[in-house]
Structure 1
Amino acid sequence: MANHPPSVLDVSTEAWRLVAGIAAVLTLASLSGQVLRIVVARSEPHALIDNLNKRINSWWVIAIIVGLALLGGSGGVTLLFALASLAALREFVTTEVPARCPRALLLSACLIIVPLQYLLVWHGSYLAYTTFIPSLVFVGLPLLGQLSGNAEEFLSRTRTLRHGLLLCVFCVSHVPALLTLHVGGDPARAGWLLVFLLLIAQISDVLQYLWGKLAGQYPIAPKLSPSKTVEGTVGGIASASMLGAGLSSLTPFTTVEAALISLLITLLGFAGGLAMSAVKRRRGIKDWGKLIPGHGGVLDRLDSLILPAPVFYYVLRYGWAD
């Protein structure tokens, strides 16, 4: 079994600065939200301001949960994303109306396939966790369909489950898989790379939202996501990329490399979010769920990681890993 450090982050000067920076941003956001509630909304119900404050409160909870998982080491991080994948897969499959996936297969996916995928990741079995779900989706389930005697109907009924396993489980599992990489001979470096990915992907989402509210005029994809604007998208991606350049000291990247990789993460995050918005629009839903106040479901927060996570993992594995 792979050796796992008790914590994936070292308590360094950069660590405390990062924690202080995140806490300061969230504190400022909370204070700003309360000022807006009192001054603008006059303590009365206000859809936009109330939603903003819900988002901020949820970010506090998310930040604390992720922080505790990081302190718990690779086991804590793997468990957190396994639970997130379970919730996301359930949202993805059950929001299809009418629900066509056989209940027994969905239960099998949640109770067997998802835990097994994350056990393989935690164990560090690279060949196993990178081929298990793709083999199941592209070979195993089609073969089961042939054995059922009605392959076409079976594949039609399991299409959403197969897509969900690839997007919500396989792709997302590459986030904790980052902890299996050895970069620069520093055991804590992989933990900081995971933090780097999460920060850039999620902050890009937040900044796109803020830029869109402040300066957004022209919708970038009105038929798929009417709330996304050209100004919000460009402003958010550019700002997050500059932030990534500023965090280069946490990574093995130069400042220019960090900026370019951040740009790649944000562009892929935008593409992934837009693709998932298209799925939601086709199903006639606004959010994937209601678990996270102000944000929607778990998948509404993970959609910006679906494409960046595996790409970032393989860029690191073949570009910087020892």
Structure 2
Amino acid sequence: MNDRIREAQERLRLAQEQIRVAQEHTAATAREAAHEAQELAKAMRDAMPPGLLTRLLSAFVGIPLILALIFVEVWPERFPGLVFTLAVALIALISGSEYFRALKHRGFRPNEQLAYIAVVVLQFAAWNVSRGKLLAFLPVMLVVLIITTLINQVVRREQEPVTNLGVTLFGVVYIGWLVSYLIFLRSLLPGQTIAIPLPWGHGPSVSYGAWLTLYVIAVTWMTDTGAYAFGVRFGKNSRKLAPSLSPNKTVIGAVGGLITATLTSLLWGAWAYIPWYHCLILGPILGALGQVGDLCESALKRDLGIKDFGGIMPGHGGLLDRFDSLLFTAPIAYYYLALIVPRIHF
């Protein structure tokens, strides 16, 4: 009887020992798996620059929206590009509000109401001018804006009317006038529609100006992406591009932006029937101007004492932070494509 009890106890002890060994093995395996997961997560964090995921998510939402706004037509015979004009007017209005809010934070007293009207009206003026109407509208509007702003400064008895007039007019020209060149781009070659070839057939037949607008936007924003990627990957020990304005920008990043702009211009230009030699010239020009535009906005933000003009676009800041480069590239691209490129062959 005692032998059976001792045998049962021994079996129980062996079973408990096996359970203990299995538990320790399971715990060790779990710890090892958790450590590997932590190392993998750390490697992914190191490989992905901070804020990149948020930028990608914003692009995932924003790119289809931009494509829709550029290409959608409502009554194209009577109102070509009206949807895009409305979208640009809204962008200009929001960007203007970000700019004037920053000015008030700095202590200026701009004439916001008149400036908002001028910024929006400029977009519809560009739309009408591109259709051959209201050719003398811009000088008239600027005269009215200057006179009414001065009168407003006198009525409000501001102490610095010249300064307030200057920042108001600068905002109207910098944001309202420069962004309106997107509408001028969209209106190039009126009446000319094409279907861009795609691997599975052809794209929609829309205004050729829409494809040119998309070309300029693609080159400009790919410049920013290329500069960011090159700077993060190769620019840790590189010389700073403009340390007093933007300490994170490097010379390597700027070179990477120019390379990306040139490649994007060549690839996109060939797809959109722009002669390759014009793409080879226009790509670096837009790449350089886009980065200069970004630095100029950094100078404004530094003077106004802010980091970003807004936070409407996660990972990018405000609309003005996102469109600052286009304010420089859109006008130059428009004049180059309208005046220097003699004819685009389809």
Q: Is TM more than 0.5 here? A: yes
Asked whether the 8 Å contact 2:222–2:264 carries over to 1, the reply is no
- Aligned partner of 1:117 in structure 2 is 122
Distance, in Å, in 2 between the alignment partners of 1:168 and 1:131 is: 20
Partner of 2:109: 101
Name the structure with the higher strand share: 2
Q: How does 1:176-255 map to 2 (within 5 A)?
A: 176-182=183-189, 185-186=192-193, 188-216=207-235, 217-255=238-276
Q: CA deviation at 1:123?
A: 2.9
Moved >6 Å (runs of 4+): 126-131
Which one of the candidate residues 294, 302, 317 is aligned to 1:281? 302
Structure 1 CA distance for aligned equivalents of residues 210 and 55 of structure 2: 26
Q: Deviations over 1:88-129 (max 9, x none)?
A: 111111112334234xx312332x323322222333446778
Is residue 2:281 matched to residue 1:260? yes
Q: C-alpha separation between the residues in 1 aligned to 2:112 and 2:108?
A: 10
- Kindly state the Cα deviation for residue 141 of structure 1 after the two structures are TM-superposed: 4.2
Shift of 1:279: 0.8
What is the distance in 1 between the residues matched to 2:278 and 2:261?
14
Q: Which residue of 2 aligns with 1:82?
A: 89
Instruction: Find the aligned partners of 1:151 and 1:140 in 2 and give their Cα distance.
Output: 20
SS at match of 1:95: helix
- Distance in 1 between residues matched to 2:185 and 2:257, nearest whole Å: 25
Q: Which amino acid in structure 1 is aligned with residue 56 of structure 2?
A: I
Instruction: Return closer, same or farther for 1:141/1:155 CA change in 2, 3 Å cut-off.
Output: farther
Q: Larger Cα Rg: Structure 1 or Structure 2?
A: 2
SS at match of 2:242: coil
Rounded Cα–Cα distance in structure 2 between residues aligned with 1:152 and 1:89: 23
Candidates 142, 156, 161, aligned match of 1:154: 161
Bigger CA drift: 181-190 or 91-100? 181-190
**For 1:74-93, what per-residue CA distance to the aligned partner results, in whole angstroms no more than 9, with x for missing partners?**
12211221111111111111
TM-score normalised according to structure 2 size: 0.72
Cα separation, 2, equivalents of 1:72 and 1:42: 42
* Aligned-partner residue type, residue 117 of structure 1: L
Structure 1: state its 5+ residue gaps.
Answer: 1-35
How many Å apart are 1:51 and its aligned residue? Answer: 1.2
TM-score (norm 1): 0.77
Pick 1 or 2: higher relative contact order, CA cutoff 8 A, min separation 6. Answer: 1
Matching residue's letter, 1:116 = V
Distance 1:314 1:128 in 2: 19
Residues 1:311 and 1:157: Cα distance change in structure 2 (over 3 Å): same
Q: CA RMSD in A?
A: 3.1
Q: What amino acid sits opposite 2:108 in the alignment?
A: R
Aligned to 1:55: 55
How many residue pairs are counted as aligned between the two chains?
282
Deviations 1:303-322 (A, max 9, x none): 11111111111222223477
State the 1:231 CA deviation. 0.2
Secondary structure of the corresponding residue to residue 292 of structure 1: coil
Deviations 1:166-202 (A, max 9, x none): 1111101111221222179446321111010000000
| Residue in 1 that maps onto 2:32 | none
Report SS of the residue matched to 2:160: helix
Q: What is the rounded CA distance, in whole Å, between the counterparts of 2:102 and 2:139 in structure 1? A: 23
Q: Does 1:271 align with 2:292?
A: yes
Question: Is the 1:192–1:251 contact (alpha carbons within 8 Å) kept by the matching residues of 2?
Answer: yes
Deviation at 1:161, TM superposition (A): 2.1
Unpaired stretches in structure 2, ≥5 consecutive residues: 1-36, 74-80, 194-205
Deviations for 1:236-285, whole angstroms, at most 9, x for unmatched residues? 21122122112222344321210211111111111111111011111221
Change (3 A) 1:146 1:128: farther
- How far apart, in 2, do the equivalents of 1:255 and 1:232 lie? 25
Quote the sequence identity (%).
27
SS at match of 1:158: helix
Asked if 1 retains the 8 angstrom alpha-carbon contact of 2:226 and 2:260, the reply is yes
Residue 27 (structure 1) aligns with: none
